[in-house]
Amino acid sequence: MESSFHKDHTLIIDELETSIKFHNLNFILSFLPKRSYLVGGYIRDIILGREPEKVDVDIVVPLNAIEIGKKIADNIGSKFIILDEKREVVRIIFNHIYIDIANQASSTIEGDLCSRDFSINSIAFLFDKKCLFDPLNGLEDLEISLLRTHSENNLINDPLRILRCFRFVSELNFKIDLKLVDFIKKNKGKLYLVAKERINYEILKIVNGKNAFEAVGLLKNFKIFGSDNFYKNSFFLDLKKINYAELNQEEKEKFLPSFFIAQILDVELLEKLKFSKAEIAKTKLLRKWHFLLETKNIAQLTELDRFTLHKELEMFLPSFIFYLPQNLRLDWLHRWRDNDDKLFHPSNLLNGDVIKKNLKIKDGPILGELLQYLSKELAYKRLNNFDEAIYKAKRWIEQNAPKCD
């Protein structure tokens, strides 16, 4: 798809109609009444030449959205959900496509478009006339990559839209209009009126975007989630001084989101915003080892400390790499990338069942301690084969198992 913005409406309309046919959406047009129109992100992404993983289609009808949506869903055998019965907003889920149909809220199409979040989402395609309607100059804002709202009330009515600004910075590399910046700074507290799950969803979108670094930097600069003192904690790094190129592309996609989440939210906020237990556990471990290394030089760590660090951070060490001294990062990454490095990927020559069978030991704390000891010996290359492992296990049990009189 052509990504240049200097194209006339005819070309955009051709691309829209081609996309509609490609996604087999043209069959729904016969069910739509006159004065229905397409609006929002679907049009925006076509113009930008983007092909998002999930196709979201927003359609506005003059009246009877529930009735129309039900008729479409019945005819194509798709899932039908009423999102808002009072305002008549419904969703049809057809394969990987989400089609939202809503009643026009204002007396005119222009009134409806003026109440949408940003100008870039306020471009409509009128099905009847096969033309674009752009009362807020959204096409021009797309051309200059600018995020602008028609009315601040549009954001106050749903404060989550404040956070959505940063999602568009992250996903589309847009700039935020200076008036909008001032508004965000003054009204960021209203975000806490929004359902926590919705905030959680937007944050995950932000940290996974191609320009997450820029968006997360703005979230910190605008202090969206913290007071003036919040980010003075040594755990929060200067994101502009980090060389992200130390990670390869796969590592960036997999591990930077957790790093960024930990850079804007502490454990208390993660819990309050209902993040997953796994994400909270990661952040706790990142903070634990950062603060330990604040007080202890890595060279001063005991063998057990260093072994424990790698055991606890093994699955997401690249998320921690930027807390290390610069001279260690590439070496640690190189060793972590080697799955056979037994310090960076602790493993064992013996499993619990083999030990229990050969050494007549039962389940319990002693077995767990023995397995950790053997794994540590392997990590530091003091163990080479099965026989050595059995021998060392016997010696360890003699020295550490509780004695009975």
**In this predicted structure, what is the pLDDT of residue 404?**
55
Instruction: Express each pLDDT in 44-90 by its tens digit.
Output: 999 999 988 789 999 999 999 999 999 999 999 999 999 999 999 99
Residue 224 pLDDT > 70, yes or no? yes
Residue bearing tokens 């100008």: 119
Residue 193's contacts (CB-CB under 8 Å, 6 or more residues apart) are: 159
Paired sense of beta strands 37-39 and 124-126, if any: antiparallel
Quote the Cα angle for 274-275-277, to 5°: 110
Distance of alpha carbon 363 from alpha carbon 361, whole angstroms: 7
Residue predicted with more confidence, 124 or 352: 124
Residue 8 pLDDT > 90, yes or no? no
The CATH number corresponding to 149-279 among 3.30.1280.10, 1.10.3090.10, 3.40.50.300, 3.30.420.40 equals: 1.10.3090.10
Two tokens at 338? 């080697």
**In this predicted structure, what is the pLDDT of residue 273?**
96
Average the pLDDT over each of 39-43, 47-51, 85-89, 276-280 and give the range with the smallest value: 47-51
Greatest distance between any 2 Cα atoms in the chain: 95
CATH 1.10.3720.10 fits 9-143, yes or no: no
- With a pLDDT cut of 90, the percent of the chain lying above it is 85
Tell me where in the chain the CATH 3.30.460.10 domain(s) lie: 9-143
Two tokens at 96? 């990987």
Burial 156-182 (b: 16+ CB within 10 A, else e): eeebbbbbbbbbbbbbbebbbbeebbe
pTM reported for the whole predicted model? 0.90
Quote the Cα angle for 86-91-95, to 5°: 170
**pLDDT, the chain, mean:** 93
**In this predicted structure, what is the pLDDT of residue 217?**
96
Tell me where in the chain the CATH 1.10.3090.10 domain(s) lie: 149-279
How confident is the model over 147-175, as a mean pLDDT?
A: 95
Q: Yes or no: say if 20 and 14 are a contact pair by the CB < 8 Å rule.
A: no
How confident is the model over 153-164, as a mean pLDDT?
A: 94
